[in-house]
């Protein structure tokens, strides 16, 4: 059973600090990795995707991928109260199936 694991949280971070969200996956053949944000009662919204080892930056968001360790993370710099949401990690495995994590709830405290 291919799995994507996330700490359910909640992760509490002070406003202005860096929030670090982590995700591990079991299928070593996975090729692409996605971070979605989901506000309570709303649908998931794509934040970033990453395919290559290393860092990818988009504004306040940085995705980090380490395929050797089967680990992908999302950093949010200068965290704002509006960043409070559940962050879902999704991994496209070697069979092109999208495997979802259950999400990490992030709370940014003013």
Partner 1 sequence: DAMVIQNPRYQVTQFGKPVTLSCSQTLNHNVMYWYQQKSSQAPKLLFHYYDKDFNNEADTPDNFQSRRPNTSFCFLDIRSPGLGDAAMYLCATSPGPGDQETQYFGPGTRLLVL
Residue among 41, 69, 82, 110 that touches partner 1 (CB under 8 A): 41
B/e letters for 45-60, b = 16+ CB within 10 Å, e = fewer, are eebbebeeeeeeeeee
Please identify, among the stretches 20-28, 46-54, 57-65, 72-80, the one whose residues bind partner 1 according to the rule CB under 8 A.
46-54
Residue among 1, 69, 82, 96 that touches partner 1 (CB under 8 A): 96
Instruction: Report whether 75 contacts 64 (CB < 8 A).
Output: yes
Please identify, among the stretches 17-25, 40-48, 56-64, 72-80, the one whose residues bind partner 1 according to the rule CB under 8 A.
40-48
Q: How many CB atoms lie within 10 A of CB 90?
A: 20
Q: Give min distance, CB of 16 to partner 1, in A.
A: 28
6-35 residues near partner 1, rule: CB under 8 A: 8, 31-32, 34
| DSSP single-letter state for residue 39 | -
> Judged by CB under 8 A, does residue 58 bind partner 1?
no
> Judged by CB under 8 A, does residue 52 bind partner 1?
no
């Amino acid at each position: 059973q291919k799995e994507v694991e996330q700490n359910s949280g909640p992760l509490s971070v002070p406003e202005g600090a860096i929030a670090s969200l982590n995700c591990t996956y079991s299928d070593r053949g996975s090729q692409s990795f996605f971070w979605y944000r989901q506000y309570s009662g709303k649908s998931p919204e794509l934040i970033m995707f990453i395919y290559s080892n290393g860092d990818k930056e988009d504004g306040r968001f940085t995705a980090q991928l380490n395929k050797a360790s089967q680990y992908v993370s999302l950093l949010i710099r200068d965290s704002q109260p509006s960043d409070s949401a559940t962050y879902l990690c999704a991994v496209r495995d070697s069979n092109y199936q999208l495997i979802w994590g259950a999400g990490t709830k992030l709370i940014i405290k003013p």
